[in-house]
C-alpha cells in the first residue's frame, strides 16, 4: 500500500477537502463582508465527478479520513450526492464535515442516513446576541435543534469549534456556558486561537488572545489534560469526571504545533495545498478528468509531499497565500 509521508517523517492519513469557497455567513474574523468571488479567478469549483475520482485516488494513498469543508459545504446543491458517493464508492473509511450548522435542524437526519462519520460545528458563542453579531445570522437556535436531533439519532462524533476572541468570548461566563452545554452530552468543545490570514491583520491585532487564558480556566476548575493520541488532530483535550463532554484547545502558535501535522488540504478548485499557510499550491485538477489518470495523480501527490516544509512560520506573520480560511478550506 502506498502512503503519504514527507521528508520530516510525518504521515498524512487525513485530507481536508474544500468543495466550495462560498459561505453564507459573514463571520467577523473570516468574511466580514460576506463571500465575494476572487477577482480574476474564473475557475469553477470541482464537480461531483472530479471529487469522486479524487477520493478514489486518495484512498489508494492510504488516506483514511476526508473532512468536507469550505466555505460552507452544505450550500452546494449536490452536497449529499458528493457525501453519499464518497461513503459508498471511495473506500475512505471516515468521511466527516465542518459546517456552520446552516439548516442543521432540517438536514440532521439526512446526514445520518448518508453515513457521515463525524461533524465539526462552528459555534463561537452560546449567547444568541453574540452569535448573531459574530456571524451576521440569528441562527443559533436551529443549530442547537440540529444537534439535539443528531443526538437523538445516536450520532456519535460531534465536535463544536469556537474561535477564541478577545473581549468577546474569552470570559468565564462564556466558558461556563459551554461547560454547562457539554456537562451531560458526549460532545467535544474546542477553542481555536484566532489565526492571522492575508485579509485580517487589523482584526487579528485587536482580537487575538492566547489560548492560555482558557487553559488556565480549565486547570483551575480541575480539568485534566490528556496526552495526544497517535492519529489525533492538533487539539489538546481535557476531561473531567463530572462532565460527559471534553474540552479542547487548538493553539496554532504553540511551539510544536506543526510536529504533529497529519493533514493536507485540497481547495475547491482542485489545488493541493501542503500547508494551510504555505506559499505553494499546485493544481491537480488536470488529472481528475478521466478515470484512467488515477495512477498519474497518485504519483504527482506523492512527489509533491517532498516539498512540504517543517513549519507554517505563522509565528513570523507569514500567512502564505491564504487571504481567509474560507478560500482554503478551514
Ligand atoms: N463554513 C464552515 C464552518 O463555519 O465551520 C467550514 C469552513 S470555516 C473556514 C472552518 C473553521 O475555520 C471554522 O470553525 C471557523 O471558525 C474557522 N476559522 C475561520 N477563520 C479563522 C481564523 N482566522 N482563525 C481561526 N479559525 C478560523
Distance 162 CA to ligand 1 centre (A): 8
Could you tell me if residue 133 is inside a domain?
yes
Cβ–ligand 1 distance for 251 under 6 Å, the answer no
Mean pLDDT to the nearest integer, 225-233: 67
Distance 234 CA to ligand 1 centre (A): 15
**Among the residues of 34-92, which ranges form H helices?**
48-60, 79-89
Could you tell me if residue 313 is inside a domain?
yes
Distance 298 CA to ligand 1 centre (A): 29
Alpha-carbon distance of 64 to 69, in angstroms, equals 16
Distance 163 CA to ligand 1 centre (A): 8
Distance 325 CA to ligand 1 centre (A): 6
C-beta of residue 25 within 8 angstroms of C-beta of residue 72: yes
Mean pLDDT to the nearest integer, 199-203: 90
For residue 118, report the phi and psi dihedrals to the nearest 5 degrees: -175, 155
Distance 203 CA to ligand 1 centre (A): 15
Could you tell me if residue 29 is inside a domain?
yes
- Residue keyed to cell 471511495: 90
C-beta of residue 281 within 8 angstroms of C-beta of residue 271: yes
Given this model, what pLDDT does residue 4 score? 83
Within 8 A by CB and 6+ apart from 190, the residues are 159, 160, 161, 162, 235, 237, 247, 248, 249, 250
Q: Where does 105-262 show beta strands of DSSP type E?
A: 118-122, 158-164, 187-193, 224-225, 236-239, 246-250
Encode pLDDT of 54-82 as tens digits: 999 999 999 999 999 999 999 999 999 99
Given this model, what pLDDT does residue 86 score? 98
Could you tell me if residue 3 is inside a domain?
no
Mark 96-111 as b/e (b = at least 16 C-beta within 10 Å). Answer: bbbbbbbbbbebbeeb
Which element (helix H / strand E) includes 17? strand 14-18
Could you tell me if residue 2 is inside a domain?
no
At 191, the pLDDT band (50, 70, 90 cuts) reads: very high
Range of the domain at 310: 14-327
CB-neighbour burial class of residue 260 (10 A; exposed 0-12, middle 13-18, buried 19+): middle
| CATH number of the domain within which 40 lies | 3.20.20.70
C-beta of residue 305 within 8 angstroms of C-beta of residue 12: yes
Could you tell me if residue 1 is inside a domain?
no
Given this model, what pLDDT does residue 227 score? 75
Cβ–ligand 1 distance for 192 under 6 Å, the answer yes
Query: Which atom of ligand 1 is closest in space to residue 121's alpha carbon?
Result: 5
* Test site for ligand 1: of 69, 188, 314, 325, most ligand atoms within 8 A of the Cβ: 325
Could you tell me if residue 23 is inside a domain?
yes
C-beta of residue 67 within 8 angstroms of C-beta of residue 82: no
Cβ–ligand 1 distance for 29 under 6 Å, the answer yes
Alpha-carbon distance of 7 to 2, in angstroms, equals 15
In the sheet that holds 263-266, the strands lie side by side as 224-225, 236-239, 246-250, 187-193, 158-164, 118-122, 94-99, 65-69, 14-18, 263-266, 271-273, 282-283
Cβ–ligand 1 distance for 30 under 6 Å, the answer yes
Distance 127 CA to ligand 1 centre (A): 18
pLDDT of 276 above 80? no
Could you tell me if residue 4 is inside a domain?
no
Q: Among candidates 173, 71, 74, 195, which has minimal Cα distance to 126?
A: 173
pLDDT of 314 above 70? no
DSSP summary character for residue 245 = S
Encode pLDDT of 120-133 as tens digits: 999 999 999 999 99
Higher per-residue pLDDT: 170 or 36: 170
Query: Which atom of ligand 1 is closest in space to residue 69's alpha carbon?
Result: 6
The pTM assigned to this predicted structure is 0.93
Q: Residue of the nearest CA to atom 25 in ligand 1?
A: 194
**Across the chain, what does the average pLDDT equal?**
90
Cβ–ligand 1 distance for 163 under 6 Å, the answer yes
Helix, strand, coil percentages (3-state) for the chain, rounded to 5, are 35, 15, 50
Task: Provide the domain count of the chain.
Answer: 1
Amino acid at each position: 500500500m502506498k502512503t503519504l509521508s514527507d521528508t520530516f517523517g510525518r504521515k498524512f492519513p487525513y485530507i481536508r477537502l474544500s468543495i466550495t469557497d462560498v459561505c453564507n455567513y459573514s463571520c467577523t474574523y473570516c468574511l466580514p463582508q460576506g463571500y465575494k468571488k476572487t477577482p480574476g479567478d474564473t475557475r469553477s469549483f470541482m464537480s461531483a465527478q472530479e471529487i469522486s475520482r479524487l477520493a478514489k485516488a486518495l484512498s489508494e494513498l492510504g488516506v483514511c479520513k476526508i473532512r468536507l469543508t469550505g466555505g460552507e459545504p452544505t450550500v452546494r446543491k449536490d452536497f449529499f450526492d458528493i457525501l453519499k458517493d464518497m461513503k459508498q464508492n471511495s473506500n475512505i473509511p471516515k468521511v466527516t464535515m465542518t459546517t456552520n450548522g446552516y439548516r442543521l435542524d432540517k438536514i440532521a437526519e439526512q446526514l445520518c442516513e448518508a453515513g457521515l462519520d463525524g461533524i465539526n460545528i462552528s459555534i463561537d458563542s452560546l449567547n444568541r446576541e453574540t452569535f448573531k453579531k459574530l456571524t451576521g445570522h440569528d441562527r443559533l437556535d436551529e443549530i442547537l435543534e440540529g444537534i439535539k436531533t443528531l443526538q437523538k439519532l445516536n450520532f456519535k462524533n460531534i465536535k463544536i469549534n469556537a474561535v477564541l476572541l478577545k473581549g468577546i468570548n474569552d470570559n468565564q461566563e462564556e466558558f461556563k456556558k459551554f461547560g454547562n452545554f457539554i456537562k451531560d452530552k458526549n460532545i467535544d468543545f474546542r477553542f481555536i486561537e484566532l489565526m492571522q490570514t492575508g485579509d485580517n491583520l487589523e482584526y487579528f491585532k485587536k482580537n487575538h488572545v492566547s489560548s492560555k487564558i482558557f487553559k488556565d480556566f480549565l486547570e483551575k476548575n480541575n480539568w485534566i489534560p490528556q496526552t495526544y493520541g497517535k492519529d489525533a488532530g492538533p487539539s489538546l483535550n481535557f476531561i473531567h469526571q463530572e462532565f460527559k463532554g471534553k474540552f479542547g484547545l487548538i493553539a496554532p502558535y504553540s511551539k510544536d504545533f506543526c510536529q504533529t501535522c497529519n493533514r493536507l488540504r485540497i481547495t475547491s478548485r482542485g489545488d493541493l495545498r501542503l500547508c494551510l499557510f504555505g506559499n505553494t499550491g499546485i493544481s491537480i485538477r488536470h488529472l481528475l478528468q478521466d478515470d484512467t489518470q488515477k495512477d498519474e495523480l497518485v504519483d504527482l501527490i506523492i512527489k509533491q509531499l517532498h516539498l512540504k516544509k517543517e513549519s507554517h512560520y505563522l509565528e513570523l506573520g507569514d500567512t502564505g497565500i491564504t487571504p481567509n480560511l474560507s478560500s482554503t478550506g478551514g
